[in-house]
């Protein structure tokens, strides 16, 4: 019983990271109707940035976090100008090719530059754990989870109470109407893509406190994030948060009960069940 | 506009066919013959992907699952039950087709990204199941013992493999051609262009999508058997990884999706380069092949959605001085 409780707690803590990655994905989809297939590669990239910030300049991952988020925002903003904008009006299969190609490009570049070695950061608090009622909680995972939750709240505030946030929401609801109201839609798209990547930056930096990085590290996270998005409803941010926690718990408990190898299979079964019974996700999604 | 029942240049087709038939006579180096076989195999696989992805517009990124299933079924039937891989290949093709229909039932009602998620997840699940399945030797893979016998689909020389895959390719392209001329093909294109409209016109979209999916998956499985018999070693990660699914798509998209000769052109241009990178650069530079593939897929996605064939057609249309398409002929 205690083990299952432990697995549930671990799942919730990891689920926070899934939520964070999925929120970015969902935001981009909600506003631009684009699935960013390179999302996992972006997580990988921000993990490497965090890693090198630590190994070269001795910047603590948690201090580097805002910096990584800003760098990722700039990368996203530029990528939108250079790459994504060109594909906005093409058939969705070429949009898929563009971001999928970007993913392959980044992963192989990372392999080329930094080899396939696994790298981790060992900071003083990496191994801190504390015990509540017989359940062990890792400090760095708890911090990562809290950051994820905090970011979700900040983003929610940003979207509802700031000028740009409201413009983003307006663009998501109706692109033409927003443009007619004097909103620069292209600029909103750039900011949205940047924001989505900034969230992967936050996720990557907080992951780096307890996880390791290698060129292909991002894809399983992204695959899980896609499932989370579908579960919560594509384009629904609160759905992404809850979906992340559900998938996190499901993976962690199934890893304990069956075998860690099957955790992807379990997520996939959940995904299928959702698509079968409630294709728009548990909160209802935004469709094309 | 004059209707041509076979809108391809008969002369160039026969000419390239003769070249392809005579190629093994000129290529003495087994390494180059191996590349030629790879080109034909991937043209065959890209062609199979093209039926679903190009004609029907359903971008599947899970076709590697059917490829792997074909290889595993024929190999297991051969090694555990002594059934010839030729028969195993047909069993695998039928099984893959049935599986495609079963898995297609939920997936083909999905649209856009949902469908791609589903296909990726499906293939990854099958891969993990095979990796952990002890009865098929899981992550150790299966080595097929070398028994040089045409009945066993194992040959000493590479030349029979070359002709077998050439025949496969011709059959595969013929199937694609007949589909594109048949009701299934016309309906598929209608589904690709506007699914809601197709449905409104009374086309049973799910039914026709499953047809094309099943045909495509069966061809994939045949390719898998060929791979298994050619390489004589199969492993879930070699066959069913997402990378493979992407290559199938890349070949069709790079050559020209939804065209008969697109996959062949895509494979003929990409695979030799790919093989070159893989064989000459080891270690961390092995990523260069993927880097290259990624750049191509990215460039094609952003600038030339019609692929190489599309570019060639445009160039030809621009410089053509042929009489019938000077004025007023838009496509």
Where in chain A are the domains? 2-108+127-277
Which tokens is B275 given?
A: 């093989």
Distance of CA A114 to the CA centre of its chain: 23
The pLDDT score that the predictor gives to residue A193 is 93
Element (H, E) at B142: strand B142-143
Q: Give the residue from chain B lying closest to A86, CA to CA.
A: B302
Which tokens is A282 given?
A: 């548990």
Topology classification of domain B27-325: ABC transporter involved in vitamin B12 uptake, BtuC (1.10.3470)
The CA distance from A224 to the nearest CA of chain B, in Å, is: 10
Q: Which residues of chain A lie closer than 8 angstroms to B108, CB-CB? A: none
- In this prediction the pTM is 0.84
Per residue of chain A (288 residues), what is the pLDDT tens digit?
788 888 898 889 889 889 989 999 989 988 888 888 899 999 999 999 999 999 888 888 888 899 999 999 999 999 998 888 888 777 777 788 888 888 888 988 888 888 888 888 888 777 788 888 778 888 888 888 999 889 889 998 998 899 998 998 888 888 888 888 888 888 999 999 999 999 999 999 998 888 889 888 888 888 888 888 888 877 788 888 888 999 999 988 888 888 777 777 888 888 878 877 776 777 665 544
Q: Which residues of chain A lie closer than 8 angstroms to B112, CB-CB? A: 92, 288
pLDDT digits (tens, 9 = 90+) for A85-113: 888 777 777 788 888 888 888 988 888 88
The CA distance from B18 to the nearest CA of chain A, in Å, is: 35
Q: Which residues of chain A lie closer than 8 angstroms to B125, CB-CB? A: 264-265, 268
Q: Which of B111, B129, B305 sits opposite A90 (nearest CB)?
A: B305
Phi, psi dihedral angles at B149 (to 5 degrees): -165, 125
Q: Which residues of chain B lie closer than 8 angstroms to A258, CB-CB? A: none
- Count CB atoms within 10 A of the CB of residue B281: 13
Q: Pick the residue of B253, B302, B307, B308 with the most A CBs within 10 A to test the interface with A by mutation.
A: B302
The CA distance from A195 to the nearest CA of chain B, in Å, is: 21
Q: Which of B111, B249, B294 sits opposite A108 (nearest CB)?
A: B294
Per residue of chain B (331 residues), what is the pLDDT tens digit?
445 555 667 777 888 888 888 888 887 788 888 888 999 999 999 999 998 888 888 888 889 999 999 999 999 999 888 888 899 999 999 999 999 888 777 666 677 778 888 888 888 888 888 888 888 887 788 888 888 777 778 888 888 889 999 999 999 999 999 988 888 888 888 888 887 888 888 888 788 888 888 999 999 999 999 999 998 898 888 888 888 888 888 888 888 888 888 888 888 888 888 777 777 766 666 667 777 777 887 887 777 777 788 788 778 777 765 545 444 444 4
Whether residues A101 and B129 touch (CB distance < 8 A) is answered with: no
The owner of tokens 């409630």 is: A278
A135-138/B233-234 β-pairing = unpaired
DSSP code for A262: G
- Please tell me the distance from the alpha carbon of residue A202 to that of residue A47, in angstroms, as a whole number: 9
Q: Pick the residue of A87, A94, A266, A286 with the most B CBs within 10 A to test the interface with B by mutation.
A: A94
Q: Which of B128, B285, B302 sits opposite A87 (nearest CB)?
A: B302
> CATH says A2-108+127-277 is which class?
mainly alpha
DSSP code for A84: I
**Do B234 and B78 contact (CB within 8 A), yes or no?**
no
Q: Pick the residue of A35, A88, A97, A251 with the most B CBs within 10 A to test the interface with B by mutation.
A: A97
Q: Which of A100, A112, A279 sits opposite B284 (nearest CB)?
A: A112
Distance of CA B156 to the CA centre of its chain: 26
The pLDDT score that the predictor gives to residue A93 is 75
Whether residues A223 and B121 touch (CB distance < 8 A) is answered with: yes
Sign of CA dihedral A128, A132, A133, A137: negative
Q: Which residues of chain A lie closer than 8 angstroms to B287, CB-CB? A: 107-109, 111-112, 215
Burial class of residue A9, CB neighbours in 10 A (0-12, 13-18, 19+):
buried
- Please tell me the distance from the alpha carbon of residue B122 to that of residue B222, in angstroms, as a whole number: 19
Q: What is the pLDDT of chain A when averaged over all its residues?
A: 86
Where in chain B are the domains? 27-325
DSSP code for A164: H
Q: Which of A96, A106, A259 sits opposite B59 (nearest CB)?
A: A96
Whether residues A112 and B125 touch (CB distance < 8 A) is answered with: no
Q: Pick the residue of B301, B304, B306, B310 with the most A CBs within 10 A to test the interface with A by mutation.
A: B301
The CA distance from B95 to the nearest CA of chain A, in Å, is: 21
User: DSSP readout, A4-26?
Assistant: HHHHHHHHHHHHHHHHHHHHHHH
Whether residues A272 and B246 touch (CB distance < 8 A) is answered with: no
């Amino acid at each position: 019983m205690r083990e299952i409780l432990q697995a549930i707690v671990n799942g919730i803590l990891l689920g926070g990271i899934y939520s964070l990655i999925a929120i970015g994905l969902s935001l981009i989809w909600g506003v631009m109707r684009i699935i960013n297939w390179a999302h996992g590669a972006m997580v990988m990239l921000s993990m490497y940035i965090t890693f090198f910030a630590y190994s070269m300049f001795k910047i603590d991952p948690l201090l580097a976090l805002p910096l990584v988020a800003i760098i990722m925002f700039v990368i996203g903003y530029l990528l939108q100008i250079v790459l994504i904008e060109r594909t906005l009006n093409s058939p969705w299969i070429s949009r898929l090719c563009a971001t999928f190609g970007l993913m392959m490009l980044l992963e192989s570049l990372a392999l080329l530059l930094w080899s396939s070695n696994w790298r981790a950061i060992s900071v003083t608090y990496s191994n801190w754990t504390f015990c509540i009622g017989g359940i062990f909680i890792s400090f760095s995972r708890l911090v990562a989870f809290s950051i994820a939750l905090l970011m979700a709240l900040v983003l929610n505030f940003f979207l509802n109470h700031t000028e740009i946030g409201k413009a983003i929401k307006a663009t998501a609801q109706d692109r033409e109407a927003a443009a007619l109201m004097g909103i620069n839609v292209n600029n909103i798209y750039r900011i949205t893509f940047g924001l989505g990547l900034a969230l992967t930056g936050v996720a990557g930096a907080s992951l780096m406190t307890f996880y390791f990085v290698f060129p292909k590290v991002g894809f399983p996270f992204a695959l899980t994030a896609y499932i989370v998005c579908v579960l919560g409803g594509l384009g629904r941010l609160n759905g992404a948060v809850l979906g992340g926690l559900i998938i996190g718990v499901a993976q962690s408990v199934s890893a304990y009960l069956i075998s860690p190898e099957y955790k992807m299979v379990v997520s996939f079964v959940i995904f299928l069940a959702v698509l079968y019974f409630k294709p728009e996700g548990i909160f209802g999604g935004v469709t094309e | 506009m004059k209707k041509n029942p076979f809108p391809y240049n008969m002369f160039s087709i026969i000419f390239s066919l003769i070249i392809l038939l005579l190629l093994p006579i000129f290529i003495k180096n087994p390494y180059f013959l191996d590349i030629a076989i790879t080109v034909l195999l991937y043209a065959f696989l890209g062609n199979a992907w093209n039926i679903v992805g190009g004609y029907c517009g359903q971008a599947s990124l899970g076709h590697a699952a059917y490829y792997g299933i074909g290889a595993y079924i024929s190999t297991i039937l051969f090694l555990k039950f002594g059934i010839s891989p030729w028969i195993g290949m047909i069993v695998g093709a039928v099984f893959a087709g049935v599986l495609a229909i079963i898995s297609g039932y939920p997936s083909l009602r999905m649209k856009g990204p949902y469908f791609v998620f589903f296909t990726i997840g499906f293939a990854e699940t099958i891969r993990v199941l095979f990796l952990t399945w002890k009865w098929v030797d899981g992550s150790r893979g299966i080595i097929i013992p070398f028994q040089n016998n045409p009945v066993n689909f194992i040959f000493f020389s590479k030349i029979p493999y070359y002709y077998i895959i050439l025949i496969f390719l011709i059959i595969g392209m013929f199937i694609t051609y007949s589909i594109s001329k048949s009701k299934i093909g016309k309906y598929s294109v209608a589904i690709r262009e506007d699914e809601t409209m197709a449905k409104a016109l009374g086309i049973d979209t799910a039914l026709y999508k499953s047809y094309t999916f099943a045909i495509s998956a069966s061809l994939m499985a045949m390719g898998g058997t060929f791979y298994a018999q050619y390489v004589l070693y199969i492993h879930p990660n070699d066959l069913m990884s997402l990378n493979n699914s992407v290559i199938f798509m890349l070949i069709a998209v790079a050559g020209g999706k939804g065209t008969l000769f697109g996959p062949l052109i895509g494979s003929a241009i990409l695979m030799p380069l790919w093989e070159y990178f893989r064989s000459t650069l080891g270690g961390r530079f092995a990523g260069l092949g993927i880097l290259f593939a990624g750049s191509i897929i990215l460039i094609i996605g952003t600038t030339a959605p019609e692929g190489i064939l599309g570019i060639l057609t445009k160039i030809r249309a621009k410089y053509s001085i042929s009489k019938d398409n000077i004025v007023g002929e838009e496509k």
